[in-house]
Amino acid sequence: MNCPYCKSELKEGTTVLTFQMDEGKIIVVKDVPALICEQCGEESINLENSKVVEKLVQKAVADGITMGFIEYNHAA
Ligand SMILES: [Zn+2]
């Protein structure tokens, strides 16, 4: 798979996603699997992983976390 912007090869890696929620809540998800372009820095996260991230963030909010780091968990 190649970068949609600069056509360089995408490399497997991990990224950090920051979600700014209502009421000033900030949830940061670490170690999210992503394909990363070494040329321009474009990060591509597949649908499956983005759904997992979404669930983790929703759970964190439901748990009352207002600001914090959570780690990507494949089992989520
Ligand atoms: Zn690129």
Question: 6 C-alpha vs ligand 1 centroid, how far in Å?
Answer: 4
Question: 36 C-alpha vs ligand 1 centroid, how far in Å?
Answer: 8
Question: 43 C-alpha vs ligand 1 centroid, how far in Å?
Answer: 8
Cα 34–Cα 27–Cα 29 angle in degrees, nearest 5: 25
Question: 8 C-alpha vs ligand 1 centroid, how far in Å?
Answer: 5
Tens of each residue's pLDDT in the chain, 76 residues: 899 999 999 999 999 999 999 889 999 999 999 999 999 999 999 999 999 999 999 999 999 999 999 999 765 5
Distance CA 56, CA 24 (A): 18
What CATH number belongs to 10-71? 3.10.20.860
Question: 41 C-alpha vs ligand 1 centroid, how far in Å?
Answer: 6
Are residues 21 and 27 in contact, defined by beta-carbon separation less than 8 angstroms? yes
